[in-house]
Structures are given as structure tokens and as C-alpha cells.
Amino acid sequence: MKIKHEHIRMAMNAWAYPDGEKVPAAEIAR
């Protein structure tokens, strides 16, 4: 499932590099 892998990668990127917005871990875990 490439989509799932990419989704996780995107979430990790957003978590590692927040665009000035703090995203709660719960939102990313979703």
C-alpha cells in the first residue's frame, strides 16, 4: 500500500517541519 506509506511520510514531514503551526500528536496519529 504505497498510499499508506506516503501518508505516514507526509505526517512525519509535517511533524518534523511544522509550518509555524503546532499540530497535536493526536491529529497526526489520525
Q: Are 23 and 14 in contact (CB under 8 A)?
A: yes
| pLDDT tens-digit readout, 4-15 | 778 777 777 766
What is the reported pTM?
A: 0.31
Show the cell assigned to 6: 506516503
pLDDT computed for residue 8 by the predictor: 77
pLDDT computed for residue 5 by the predictor: 76
Q: What is the CA radius of gyration of the chain?
A: 10
pLDDT computed for residue 1 by the predictor: 59
Output the average pLDDT for the chain. 67
Domain boundaries, the chain: 1-30
Task: Give the rounded percent of residues in the chain with a pLDDT score beyond 70.
Answer: 33
